[in-house]
A and B are shown apart, each in its own frame.
Chain A
Amino acid sequence: DSGVTQTPKHLITATGQRVTLRCSPRSGDLSVYWYQQSLDQGLQFLIQYYNGEERAKGNILERFSAQQFPDLHSELNLSSLELGDSALYFCASSSTVNTEAFFGQGTRLTVV
């Protein structure tokens, strides 16, 4: 158990809908990362927050947004969903930047 909790584990939704994925980092970790893994692809960095502030953005679509709350949990919002958004979405946390990140079990999103 990495200590990073992601909910829900599975999500099935229709095209055009909006979903929210939730991540609780390890206790004490200030940095939260979101990654997307499409079918048999590598891990694509989406966005990073550090202590409530956005720190870095990767290949995140404009339809996607995220935030980190004062209690350090983070949410990834995906809107106007398309079939191609079906993927595993991972959250990871680390205590500071440039230290190893620990991953949650992921949320499998299926858009139908």
Chain B
Amino acid sequence: DQQVKQNSPSLSVQEGRISILNCDYTNSMFDYFLWYKKYPAEGPTFLISISSIKDKNEDGRFTVFLNKSAKHLSLHIVPSQPGDSAVYFCAASEPYGQNFVFGPGTRLSVLP
């Protein structure tokens, strides 16, 4: 049973617009969430994280929102750039968690 879900396998967005990537989780024990970006033939790159004591975290063009009651988080990229085209993975861990559980990923294409 997938504990972390990313229900959109792919997303296309026009350059300059907002990209919104969604992630849902089922394990209510998760309290730390991360987003990673992955280009082909490279390892995932850490983007941004959020702990369950917050509902928003911003880093430049990237903002992560957490809705604990809905067990949902989202990554907003504003404005989107062609270089943002990659696969984005959502990940989660429990308190003192021993591992990160990853979602299946969403492939983002930013069109010029």
Binding site for B on A (CB under 8 A): 2, 4, 6, 33, 35, 41-45, 48, 50, 55-56, 58, 90, 92, 97-98, 100-106
CB < 8 Å: which of A42, A98, A102 contacts B97? Answer: A98
Can you spell out 7 A-B residue pairs with CB atoms less than 8 angstroms apart?
A33-B100, A42-B89, A43-B44, A43-B89, A45-B102, A90-B43, A97-B97
A42-B89, A42-B105, A43-B89 known; A101+B43 contact, CB < 8 A: no
Chain B residues with CB below 8 A from A101, complex form: 46, 100
**How many CB-defined contacts (below 8 Å) exist between A and B?**
60
Q: Is B12 close to A, CB under 8 A? A: no
A43-B44, A103-B43 known; A97+B102 contact, CB < 8 A: no
In the bound complex, how far is the Cα of B4 from the Cα of A45, in angstroms? Answer: 13
Chain A residues with CB below 8 A from B100, complex form: 33, 45, 101
The contact size tier of chain B is: 20 to 34
In the bound complex, how far is the Cα of B104 from the Cα of A6, in angstroms? Answer: 23
Q: Is B63 close to A, CB under 8 A? A: no
Task: Judge whether A97 and B96 touch: CB under 8 Å.
Answer: yes
In the bound complex, how far is the Cα of B100 from the Cα of A37, in angstroms? Answer: 14
A41-B104, A42-B89 known; A48+B99 contact, CB < 8 A: yes
In the bound complex, how far is the Cα of B91 from the Cα of A33, in angstroms? Answer: 14
Chain A residues with CB below 8 A from B44, complex form: 43, 90, 92, 103
Binding site for A on B (CB under 8 A): 32, 34, 36, 41-46, 49, 89, 93, 95-105
CB < 8 Å: which of A55, A97, A104 contacts B43? Answer: A104
In the bound complex, how far is the Cα of B97 from the Cα of A56, in angstroms? Answer: 9
Task: Judge whether B45 and A58 touch: CB under 8 Å.
Answer: no
Task: Judge whether A98 and B96 touch: CB under 8 Å.
Answer: yes
